[in-house]
Amino acid sequence: MRIGVVAESSAGETRVAATPATVQQLIQLGYVVSVETQAGALASFADEAYTEAGATVVTRDTAWANDIILKVNAPNDQEIDRLLEGATLVSLLSPSLNPDLVEKVAARPITVMAMDAVPRI
């Protein structure tokens, strides 16, 4: 299973969906991880740190061409179109506040996990 960690497109966003430490854990679980170049730069994680953790640093198009996509914020329309058929998107979505977004992703043959809708204990 291939995981892509993509850069955030929201202006001012400094978070990244996976750190080098979490990438290393995913690789130890048997996943192949690709990280979009400069995805972690604003969070102070250099591309080299992801490479050292075992990930491959790739272009934007290659990062989006994976089975599972990790992203902090909800995707915009262009990013929804980038998702492969059958892909899984793991992101913050605020589904109750964004019914239009829910309709857009529901129209695609993808699985979406809204991390902000997962109960916390």
What DSSP state is assigned to residue 43?
Answer: G
Burial of 104 by CB count in 10 Å (0-12 exposed, 13-18 middle, 19+ buried)?
middle
Taking the CB of residue 37, how many other CB atoms lie within 10 A of it?
A: 15
Question: What confidence tens digit (pLDDT) does each residue in 76-114 have?
Answer: 999 999 999 999 999 999 999 999 999 999 999 999 999
Q: Tell me the pLDDT band of 11, cut-offs 50, 70 and 90.
A: very high
